Amino acid sequence: MSKILKINGLEKTYSSGNKQLTVLQNITFDVEKGQTFSIVGPSGSGKTTLLGLCAGLDQPNAGTVELCGQDLSALNEDQRAQLRNKEVGFIFQNFQLLPTLTALENVSVPLELQGDKDATIKSKTLLEKVGLGNRFHHYPSQLSGGEQQRVALARAFANAPSILFADEPTGNLDEDTGEKVIQLLFDLNKEAGTTLVIISHDLDLANRTQQILRLKGGQIVANECTEKVL
């Protein structure tokens, strides 16, 4: 299998007053194309910072990130944005839907930005897959948390990303709703053949992925294969 994400010697520090705060140190790992991969650790272990670096939303102080065959350090900000638009999907804990757009419009936006003439048809199909065929014209404020996250799921898969980053995707949902959203995430991911990287503190969720990277204090403490076949 080919590697869709290659991380080598990654370090990230921030200035805090007169001190340097090291958030990540000597992070090295690979993610195979089509793999389900989770990054787990306690609060403050550097999980979300690592996601930002993997997706090119931030830049490391040392080390390299290769995403979809591209060395992110060789790209400028616009080029990194273009790579994300083409290859990367995101799901966030707080949904990040546009409040002035309907469910259908939220899902259509990434496709319309790419000039896809079938944006509306594809968006309706995705919303139907996540069980929201009767919610096309509802605004986020008219939807429950679980419904909003299902809209976010549909949007994340809209541009057929090569890799999808999910940051605490059930963090704002109750247990039952979260379980339904996760099952949809895995089902959609399997159907699309997307590489899935989940950031979570939920070990039950992590154990459903094929590989688990454990962080503590900004360092890797374990990198385990679960031998899941999905």
Q: How much is the pLDDT for 18?
A: 86
**Can you give the residue range of the structural domain that contains 88?**
3-225
The CATH number linked to 166 is 3.40.50.300
Each residue's pLDDT tens digit, 15-74: 888 888 899 999 999 999 999 999 999 888 999 899 999 999 999 999 999 999 999 999
Q: What is the model's pLDDT at position 201? A: 86
**Structurally, how many domains does the chain consist of?**
1
Q: Is residue 121 part of a domain?
A: yes
pTM over 0.85: yes
Q: Is residue 230, in this structure, part of any structural domain at all?
A: no
Q: Sign of torsion, CA 40 199 38 143?
A: positive
Asked whether 86 and 116 are in contact (CB, 8 A), the reply is no
> Is 186 part of a structural domain of the chain?
yes
pLDDT < 70 positions in the chain = 1, 227-230
Do the domain assignments include residue 107?
A: yes
Buried b (16+ CB within 10 A) or exposed e, 74-105: eeeeeebeebbeebbbbbbbebebeeeebbbb
Asked, for residue 120, whether it belongs to a domain, the answer is: yes
Is 160 among the domain residues? yes
